[in-house]
Each structure stands twice: as C-alpha cells, then as structure tokens.
Structure 1
Amino acid sequence: MKKLILATMVVAFVASCGGKSKAPRNLDNACSIVRQQPKMLRAMKRTERKWDVPVHVQMAIIHQESKFVKDARTPVKYVLGVLPMGRQSSAYGYAQALDGTWKEYQKSEGGRSARRTDIRDATDFMGWYMNKTRDVTGIPLHDARNQYLAYHEGRTGYLRGSYKSKSWLVRVADNVGSRSAMYQRQLARCR
C-alpha cells in the first residue's frame, strides 16, 4: 500500500512539472502583465532600445500570437475528425515563429542557442523581423496593425495584398492595432 501511495505521489509530482505554461492573468491590462512578468517588460524594453519597436506593439502582437504563453503551438489537424495528422504549422513560442524564419533569425542575429520559448529571444526576433518588414514594405515600426498583417502573411504576401481577401484576418489586425493603442495608454500610466 505504501508503495502505491508513493508511486501515486511521484506520478502526480512529475505531471505537475510538465504541461503547457500559463499566461499572465488579465491580458487586457498591460500593467498587470508587466507586474506579474517583469522579465517580459525588461526583454521588450531591450528590444525597443535595440530595434526601435515600441513595447506596446510587441505586447499586442505577442498577445495575438500566443496570449503570452511561452510554449504555444498551433492546433493539431485531424483526418476524418479523429486521426491526428500533425500541427497546422511549425509556429511555436511567444512570437509563433515558423521553423524556417527562426533558423534565418538564428543565422543572422540570434545565434544557435536562441529559443522561441525565451522571451528575450522572442522579442529580439520580433524586432529583427519587423525591421526587415519596414525595410521591404515601408510599414512603420509603430504601426501594429500593418506590421501584424505582414507578420501573419509574410512580407511578399503583404505586398501582394493577400490579406485583402481574408476579412477575418483584417478584423484580427484591427484588434491588434486597438490592443496596441490600449497597451500604450496603460503603460504610460503604470510606469
């Protein structure tokens, strides 16, 4: 009986260590997020200094991409509604960076040890990516809405206007823009 109880306790402990990381509470309050996760704010300020991407823009895009969950993944696709067939894409981490784009970032900027689950690396990636987007498309770094559209569709897709036929994506981008403005107002009050 003691062995069964001990084994149950070990399994419960191991199970509690794994699993998906949790998002900060109250994702509609930037001050609450940075109070709970001061490391996030430090990483975003570092990215703002290095890449000139405002903190509120980074926060709004991370909110949309991962809801601040460090190990976020896209949903699994199913065949016939029951057989798992893999993920919708290779997007992973805070910034939902795709495998190929992340490897490009690692070669160019982040080094081989950069991880998508590390907020410092994820925000640095976003700064790097958005600066390249600005250079290619002319989208200002403070324009969260259009930076998000280019982030989602890729620069070439953005330039082609592929998002124009996706009303749902335009609504999401509008929400990212609104959230960025909301976070900007909140951060000005809580600093």
Structure 2
Amino acid sequence: MYRVNFSRVLAIGLVLSLSACATAPSHINDVCAVFDQRDGWFNNWRSAAESTERKYGVPVPVLMATVRKESGFKSNARPPRTTLFGFIPWKRQSSAYGFSQALDGTWSQYIRESGNFTARRSNFADAIDFVGWYHAKTVAGYGVAPTDTFNLYLAYYMGWNAYKRGSWRSNSGVQNYARATDQMARRYGAQLQQCGG
C-alpha cells in the first residue's frame, strides 16, 4: 500500500510557492500588478518603493520605471554573454546584475555609503533602495529634479561622468531609452492613482 508522506508534500509545496514568488511579474507595464508581487513572504514591493521615496525624495513612479527599464523586474537579470569565435559562450558585457542592473563597483560604493552591508542586488527592497540612492546622488550632484525621469535615467544608464560630459547628446538610442523610461514613469503615476496611490 502506498503511503503519503505529508511532511514531504508540505515541503515541496513550500519550495514551489516560494519559487513562484521570486519570478518576475507578468504585467510589468501595470504598476498595480507589479505591486502585487512579493519576494518570498515578507518583502512587500510597494512598501519598499514607498520607503525608498520617503528616504531619498525620488517618487515611486520614477523608481519603478527605472527598474522596469533596467531588468523588467527580473531578480537575476544579467547582460547577455559575448561569444568567442562566434559560438563559444564567453564573458558578459558588464557586471550589471539583478533588479537594478547595478555594476559591481557602483554596488560596492552603495554598500559603503548606505551601510546596508547585507544588501543583495537580487532582493527587490535592496535594489529599489540602490536606485533611490543613485538618483538622489544625481539630484544632489548635478541639479536634476527628483521628478525628471529623463535626466535621472540618462545619468543612471550612462554613469555620472559620462552624463556630466554630455556623452548622451550624440547617442539617440540612449535618449530613446530615457524617453521611454519617462513615459513609463508617467504611466505608472497615473496607474497609482487608480490602485490607491
């Protein structure tokens, strides 16, 4: 006779439910749907974004649009690998990783300056805090308004030095990315009004 091991079934169910929670939202162009997402059981994405807004003064729609553009809300997002001889998987184009696509060096700077020594780029609350920190430094260092998604994203994508040099002015592709991010922030802002923002 076959016997059901209920503790094993419960453990498998728990693992499956937690792994399901770690996947990217399916409707990433709807901030209300995105806010229904959770990291595991304890990390509420909306409260993390609102906490970051309070801490750094950068509005939730700007923060969320940045993460949307960078990773599509995928916790383990990475740039594609280059190939050697056209077919052998090789190095990645950069060290960008996680929700925020933060580079190794910039992430290390964030850890030092924020004191958030346990932060992980694959954790939404940590990643959104990083985005807020980065945008706040752009606001303070370059006179960009905290609501100016276009310029905040330019500085985020290009890096502060390239932004200061104006390298983006001759790069229509980067400008298009920034425009799309600005439009998404506006869309998210309108949606937040509908879902209790």
Same topology, TM > 0.5: yes
Deviation by residue 1:77-126 (Cα, 9 ceiling, x = unmatched):
11222122211100001100000000011111043211111111111111
What is the aligned partner in structure 2 of residue 154 from structure 1? 159
Superposition map of 1:1-191 within 5 A = 22-37=23-38, 39-191=44-196
1: distance between equivalents of 2:159 and 2:115? 20
1: distance between equivalents of 2:158 and 2:170? 12
Deviation by residue 1:44-93 (Cα, 9 ceiling, x = unmatched):
00101111111100110000000001111111111222122211100001
The aligned length equals 175
2: distance between equivalents of 1:48 and 1:78? 40
1: distance between equivalents of 2:23 and 2:125? 17
Change (3 A) 1:36 1:113: closer
Query: Larger % of helix: which?
Result: 1
What runs of 5+ residues in structure 1 fail to find an aligned partner?
1-15
* RMSD (Å) for aligned C-alpha atoms: 1.8
SS at match of 1:35: coil
**Is the 2:97–2:121 Cα contact (8 Å) retained in structure 1?**
yes
Most deviating of 170-179 and 78-87: 78-87
2: distance between equivalents of 1:184 and 1:107? 32
- How high is the TM-score relative to the length of structure 1? 0.86
1: distance between equivalents of 2:121 and 2:37? 20
SS at match of 1:121: helix
1: distance between equivalents of 2:37 and 2:136? 28
Deviation by residue 1:123-151 (Cα, 9 ceiling, x = unmatched):
11111111111111111111111100000
- How high is the TM-score relative to the length of structure 2? 0.84
1: distance between equivalents of 2:58 and 2:115? 17
2: distance between equivalents of 1:22 and 1:61? 18
Q: What displacement does 1:35 show? A: 2.2
What runs of 5+ residues in structure 2 fail to find an aligned partner?
1-15
Runs of 4+ in 1 over 6 A off after TM superposition: none
2: distance between equivalents of 1:147 and 1:58? 10
